[in-house]
Amino acid sequence: DEEHAGKEICFGANETHLSIADVTDKSNPVALSRASYPNVAYSHQGWPSDDHKYFFLNDELDELSGTQSRTRTLVWDIQDLDDPILLTEYMGETAASDHNLYVRGNLVYESNYVSGLRILDISDPANPVEVAHFDTVPWGPDAPGFAGSWSNYPYFQSGNIIVSSMREGLFIVRKRERPVS
C-alpha cells in the first residue's frame, strides 16, 4: 500500500476481527481499519505474505464452536490497508483446530493442533493448496481441540522446520519435494 510505505504497521487478530494500525509513532498509534468475517469465533493469529499484499488469518475456535466443520484459513487482500478485503476462505482436509501459522515464500506453515503441521502453497493466494503435512499425533483423531502441534518455525536457511507438539515434544522436519513422474 503506497499510502503507508515506510510506516510501521501492526496487524492484530483481536478475537472478533482483524485490525490494522499505523504504529510508527509509538505514543500515537493510528487505527487504519477493522474487518470482520462470517462465523467468527476467536480470531487468533496471522501472518502477511512476503510481498505484503495478503494476510493469512486463523480462527482458533471456529471448528470447536461448530461454526466450521473443517480447518479454516482466511486470506485477506491487504493491498489497501484502510480497506482489507476477505479474498477467500481455505477449508482444510481435517476438522482440527488451527493455532499458529507463518509465511515463507509461497508457503504457509500451519500448526493445526491434532492434525500437526500443514503446508499450503499460496502461489495463487485465492486458491491455497495443501502440499505437505506432518502429523505430530498420528494416533489421535483430527478433531477440534487443544492437543498436538502448538507452533512451528520455518525460517532456517537449511530448510529444516521446527514443530512443537504439546505432549509429544519437538520435531525437526523438512519439506520433501515430490518426485516428478
Could you list the mean pLDDT of each consecutive 10-residue stretch along the chain, which spans 181 residues? 95 95 98 97 96 97 93 98 98 95 98 96 98 92 90 97 95 84 68
Residue 143 belongs to some domain of the structure: yes
- Considering only the C-alpha atoms of the chain, give the largest distance between any 2 of them, rounded to a whole number of Å: 58
* Three-state secondary structure call for residue 181: coil
Residue 10 belongs to some domain of the structure: no
> For residues 150 and 3, what is the distance between their CA atoms, to the nearest angstrom?
36
- pLDDT given for residue 85 in this prediction: 98
Count the domains in the chain. Answer: 1
Q: Please compute, for residue 47, the number of CA atoms within 13 A of its CA located in the half-sphere on the CB side.
A: 19
Say if CB 159 and CB 175 are below 8 A apart: yes
Could you tell me the three cell numbers for 32? 487504519
> For residues 92 and 135, what is the distance between their CA atoms, to the nearest angstrom?
14
DSSP 78-133: -SSTTS-EEEEEEE-SS-PPP-EEEEETTEEEEE-BTT-EEEEE-SSTTS-EEEEE
Residue 13 belongs to some domain of the structure: no
- pLDDT given for residue 120 in this prediction: 98
pTM of the model: 0.94
Cβ partners under 8 Å of residue 150, min gap 6: 99, 100, 111, 113, 164, 165, 166
CATH number (domain holding residue 65) = 2.130.10.10
Residue 28 belongs to some domain of the structure: no
- pLDDT given for residue 70 in this prediction: 94
> For residues 87 and 89, what is the distance between their CA atoms, to the nearest angstrom?
7
Residue 72 belongs to some domain of the structure: yes
- Per-state percent for the chain, helix, strand, coil, to nearest 5: 5, 45, 50
Residue 167 belongs to some domain of the structure: yes
* Three-state secondary structure call for residue 3: helix
Structural domain harbouring 164? 37-174
- pLDDT given for residue 176 in this prediction: 84
Residue 11 belongs to some domain of the structure: no
Residue 18 belongs to some domain of the structure: no
- pLDDT given for residue 58 in this prediction: 96
- pLDDT given for residue 140 in this prediction: 80
Separation in Å, CA 15 to CA 46, 50, 83, 94, 171: 12, 24, 19, 23, 29
